[in-house]
Amino acid sequence: MADVTLGDADGKSLSVPLQRSNAVGLFRLTDRVFHTVTFVAALFVLILLGAIILSLIVGAWPSIAKFGVGFLVGERWSVNKEIFGALSPIYGTLMTSLIAMVIAVPIGLGIAIFLTELCPLELRRPIGIAIELLAGIPSIIYGIWGFFTLTPFFGQTLLTASLILAIMVLPFITAISRDVFATVPPVLKEAAYGIGCTTWEVAKNVVLPYTRVGVVGGVMLGLGRALGETMAVTFVIGNSHSIAASLLSPATTISATIANEFQESDGVYRSSLLELGLLLFVITFFVLAAARIMLMRLERKAGA
């Protein structure tokens, strides 16, 4: 607009620079406002995160003060005697997530490679939509389904919970892997095929290395969901504060314990549950941090 005014009649020469500086000032102002608004939005997330951590620590403090490190290594969870140890929920959380990832990652990558490399075109959409639908199912439905179809075979055990989690994280891993696999430039794959590579070799040596970062991201997203999943796990894990050698024994996870017991808790009991929440926070943080470090290492290796 300013430029149009500039080319206007000579008689208005006085007003031209004025209009121009007005317009530029307006641009500058919008820019500054935009900058501030986005900055505040970003800052808000940080403040929120800090506030959550702070309130968790404050809430958990009586338990931290009372049990100290013993909370992390104690296996006993006695509500009536007010002795709390988080080892069994920590074990349950890590173990169920680990088994779920061991099952879901190979299957998810397999589906994604099939969809992008091998699948006939007419099948691609139906399978893709099915996977996206799977991701949209609320967790309680998975819980109920697992309760009625898996527990008759496996009982309410650590393994049942792991299987349900594997099914739940599968769509995340698959959908993200498929999307990143689709970004591999056809020329790379064609070159590999051109020198006589098999599909397996193309997937292993071209597609996976090219999309490593995205795949790891998808896996981490799945892992994040597995670590925090509550409802589905509560239905099928057996909610028992114990660590058994067998995967076919009832167990519990951090989020399942909180969901079951928070409502009627008070005093040290409640603050122990809050400390469990804090621990889940810390575990998730470390898992994500480990993923970042792993990615950075991979990048460096690839660069060298």
DSSP assignment string, 226-285: HHH--HHHHHHS-------SSTTS----HHHHHHHHSTT--HHHHHHHHHHHHHHHHHHH
Using CB under 8 A, count the residues that bind another protein: 35
Phi, psi at 201, each rounded to 5°? -70, -35
Q: How far is the CB of 291 from another protein (least distance, A)?
A: 28
Can residue 156 be called a binding residue for another protein (CB under 8 A)?
Answer: yes
Binding residue (CB under 8 A) for another protein from 23, 94, 114, 147: 147
C-beta of 92 vs 108, nearer to another protein: 92
C-beta of 152 vs 196, nearer to another protein: 152
C-beta of 47 vs 118, nearer to another protein: 47
Can residue 183 be called a binding residue for another protein (CB under 8 A)?
Answer: no
C-beta of 193 vs 262, nearer to another protein: 262
For 69-85, the three-class secondary structure string (H helix, E strand, C coil) is CHHHHCCCEECCCCEEC
C-beta of 156 vs 211, nearer to another protein: 156
Which residues touch 267 (CB under 8 Å, ≥6 apart)? 62, 82
Q: Per-residue contact track with another protein, 257 to 276, x per CB under 8 A? A: -xxxxxxxxx---x------
Rounded CA separation 116/87 (Å): 42
Label residues 161-174 b or e (16+ Cβ within 10 Å = b): bbbbbbbbbbbbbb
Rounded CA separation 188/191 (Å): 5
Binding residue (CB under 8 A) for another protein from 16, 53, 59, 287: 59
Can residue 148 be called a binding residue for another protein (CB under 8 A)?
Answer: yes
What is the binding site for another protein (CB under 8 A)?
A: 55, 58-59, 76-81, 140, 147-148, 151-152, 155-156, 230-231, 234, 238-241, 250, 252, 258-266, 270
